[in-house]
Chains A and B, each alone.
Chain A
């Protein structure tokens, strides 16, 4: 076990865990940040997507020991009240079915738009293709990313 000081959502958290513990389980089991979901554990579904600085990463395979002083943003930190344009678009388009994948989808979309505020349809498809939605909300995801991009203008 080792003590890690983590910068998450603008706050400093501390966790006493083994170095190989994936960030996902530190967030969920130790810090009570439960918005980040477990779907596959092998970086292929995107349910656990968080931001590492401004980049979307898969927390299920990201060891806590590799976080260092980077600033981590989870769905809880994107905006607490759901006021981030991507969250708002997700609500307006009524994207969720079961909703389980959506934190990961939103975090992926937010990182995508940060990097490319004006994505083409192909760029949206490419940017969102790594996130599985088992309920099949893909059409609305496309629509919501487009709407969020418009809101950001």
Chain B
């Protein structure tokens, strides 16, 4: 056997920084005197840098290292964050090296991936980090050249004195600049002078990805590390009654079998040996809670939609009176199933619990939560727990949960060894934390001239919390409105799933708005614009969205798609506000041999300033493909608590042949970035469903579309 590669970035980093001997520049986000900086930064600080925290370092050879503190799940943060720093630093991008920082709450705030929030949160902070360093480099240059700093300018990692034609490289200046005090209130660039921000910049990890370098948590190996697989109850609501591990323990390569909670972990020397031994476990389960089936949920949904008890989320005017005087009432129900997240890299995590500390390495969207659970399980102080973040093979919200980190910590603690827990696809798909299943009932009251005078929405969710977004469109545009919800608590676990709640609410609401427009005899785009106009002119209650931004994307998408002007295709419209950004989409369906075939999707996004055009386009395309695939095919069902789908053979993910042409536009409005990891997903389902309706007069009331009666024998 050959020895295993050690992928610890920490050591690599320490060495490279020490070797570089450069300047470390950064800034403190919150407060002072928190926990001591990590070893990486200490090493660099000792080399004589300024005494605040680290976002970037400049080596004497001119190489700039930028630390990216947020977890990378494919949203391209590891490229976009450094671009923002590099822009203000005026650095030569080809000489920038990006390094994933480990968890360090004393230096970085919000080391989280979720809620499309990283760029909006850090935009100004990152710009200031770059600009501060640039200012210090200019001051050092001014001293060296004996000229006023005002006569200097910067470009491509050079400080230039135009009058004398002299210039100095950042690398030559780094040591001197480090000794200067960090200036406060540095001037930031005018966005019109941006050279990097807004351009398409390739993913900084491309070189490693295309050559198969070990970047992911599952690729973490270390000498002496053991591999573990966990047997979990086969159904939600079951618990362990007894375990007979004798046969499993006797199998080759197996080191230990440990038990915690309702889980049994097989620990061994290699993945395949552990996989086989896990099958030899004899675990008897018994019922511990209700064993629910999807058919129970279908029944429950209908009962709870009529429940007398609901949590009122928002109430405007007098809804009952409005419905009484209505000339027309539209009423519809929409339902969406549970969905697994299905990141292509299954859950995994490495933990090494020692007497004096814990080392954690792996894929997590919330390293801080990972540390928290490790502290709780081991009783070891958080300061003694390190978390190193690996690149993630997707996450989609799944890695906001720490269940698999807990498992790694438990197993390492019980087996007294460094352990990597890995899940199979079946574990991943049947292991819970799904997007919740939800059913909605919408009702709209129209007066004789087709104005919406009343609106009701009730959402019933299974472990969904509040399945509505009560201050979102069309709230604010209707005088009489009632939004409430009913929750059913189930042993089937749920979790945030890319664009939580809105990933199905948007489909239901934007489909229903289409129905209302039709009942009112109005064009769907015009009808939406009129509602927005009404919310602007005579706003009712709290309005959680920016009406102008929503109108702009609506108009622009209609214009780009040639709304209402095309022959031979049927168009469907959808617009949604989520996570601070606005996306409007038009789906185009053609009838081929009587069957609807999705031809194209147009998307217009207002996410404020685009940071990386390549990454931003990826997020929009990815969001659309994600939204389309799951609306079309995604379905997780249960029988007596047991998941009925286990792998990609019986759970269908969208494939290459099934994606239509996509045309993407961004609104250029000078607003600071508002996030893009999620907002392109929610509108897709309804843009497609509304186009299918146009083409076939069949409405998709449930997801997945492919299993609706209307689609049977129809498309794809």
Question: Chain A: residues with CB nearer than 8 A to chain B?
Answer: 1, 13, 15-18, 20-22, 25, 28-42, 44-45, 47, 74-76, 78-82, 87, 90-92, 94, 96-103, 106, 125-126, 128-142
Contacts and interface: CB of A to CB of B under 8 A. Distances in A.
A34 B425 contact: no
Interface string B207-228: 1011111111011010000010
A40 B656 CA distance: 17
Given A18-B252, A25-B270, A29-B271, A98 B624 contact: no
Contacts of B202: 91-92, 94
A25 to B, nearest CB: 4
Given A75-B212, A97-B76, 8 more contacts: A25-B272, A33-B212, A35-B213, A37-B344, A39-B648, A133-B656, A134-B394, A137-B622
Interface string B379-410: 00000000000011111100000000000000
15 contacts: A15-B1, A17-B270, A30-B270, A35-B214, A41-B647, A78-B211, A81-B211, A90-B209, A94-B618, A98-B391, A99-B209, A126-B657, A134-B342, A136-B629, A139-B662
A92 B657 CA distance: 22
A148 B394 CA distance: 26
B209 A102 contact: yes
B344 A34 contact: no
Contacts of A98: 73-74, 343-345, 391-395
B64 interface: no
A141 to B, nearest CB: 6
Interface string B339-373: 00011111000000000000000000000000000
Interface in B270-302: 270-273
A142 B649 contact: no
Given A13-B2, A25-B271, A138-B625, A42 B425 contact: yes
A4 to B, nearest CB: 12
Contacts of B346: 38-39
Contacts of A94: 200, 202-203, 206, 614, 618
A81 B648 CA distance: 33
B186 interface: no
Given A134-B394, A136-B659, A34 B212 contact: yes
A91 B207 contact: yes
Contact of A138 (B5, B74, B203, B656): B656
A17 B272 contact: yes
Contacts of B653: 132, 134
Contacts of A79: 211
Interface string B612-654: 0010001001111110010000000000000000011100011
Contacts of B489: none
Q: Is the interface of A mostly helix, strand, loop or mixed?
A: loop
A97 B212 contact: no
Interface of B is mostly: loop
Would you list the 10 A-B pairs with minimal beta carbon distance, nearest first?
A35-B212, A136-B625, A100-B393, A98-B74, A75-B212, A97-B74, A99-B209, A34-B214, A136-B622, A87-B210
Nearest to A60: B425
A129 B654 CA distance: 10
Nearest to A141: B656
B542 interface: no
Interface string B230-274: 000000000000000000000010000000000000000011110
A136 B655 CA distance: 8
B618 A97 contact: yes
Contacts of B622: 97, 135-137
A123 to B, nearest CB: 12
Contacts of A125: 656-657
Interface of B: 1-5, 73-76, 200, 202-203, 205-207, 209-216, 218-219, 221, 227, 252, 270-273, 342-346, 391-396, 422, 424-426, 614, 618, 621-626, 629, 647-649, 653-657, 659, 662
A76 to B, nearest CB: 5
Given A94-B202, A96-B209, A136-B629, A41 B74 contact: no
Nearest to A132: B653
B621 A139 contact: yes
Nearest to B201: A94
Nearest to A96: B209
Given A97-B76, A136-B629, A39 B344 contact: yes
B625 A103 contact: no
Contacts of A131: 656
A135 B5 contact: no
B209 A136 contact: no
Contacts of B73: 98
B74 A135 contact: yes
A80 B655 CA distance: 29
A37 B626 contact: no
Contact of A99 (B271, B393, B395, B659): B393
Nearest to B618: A97
A85 B346 CA distance: 30
B221 to A, nearest CB: 7
B221 A32 contact: yes
Given A45-B344, A98-B74, A100-B345, A40 B393 contact: no
B654 A136 contact: yes
A129 B655 CA distance: 6
Given A37-B344, A99-B391, A139-B621, A42 B647 contact: yes
A128 B639 CA distance: 34
Nearest to A15: B1
A103 B216 CA distance: 13
A134 to B, nearest CB: 5
A47 B12 CA distance: 28
Given A99-B205, A129-B657, A136 B621 contact: yes
Contacts of A100: 74, 216, 343-345, 392-394
A91 B210 contact: yes
Nearest to B73: A98
A134 B675 CA distance: 21
B616 to A, nearest CB: 12
Nearest to A40: B425
A128 B659 CA distance: 13
A51 B215 CA distance: 22
Contact of A30 (B1, B76, B209, B662): B1
B210 A102 contact: yes
Nearest to B662: A139
A32 B214 CA distance: 9
A134 B205 contact: no
Given A90-B206, A97-B76, A80 B211 contact: yes
A132 B344 contact: yes
Contacts of A20: 272
Nearest to A130: B655
Contacts of A30: 1-2, 270
Contact of B3 (A32, A36, A135, A142): A32
A1 B252 contact: yes
B112 to A, nearest CB: 17
Contacts of B1: 15-16, 30
A15 to B, nearest CB: 7
Contacts of A40: 425, 647-649
A132 B216 contact: no
A8 to B, nearest CB: 11
Contacts of B654: 136
B494 to A, nearest CB: 19
A35 B211 contact: yes
B657 to A, nearest CB: 5
B211, B214, B252, B649 pick with most chain A CB within 10 angstroms: B211
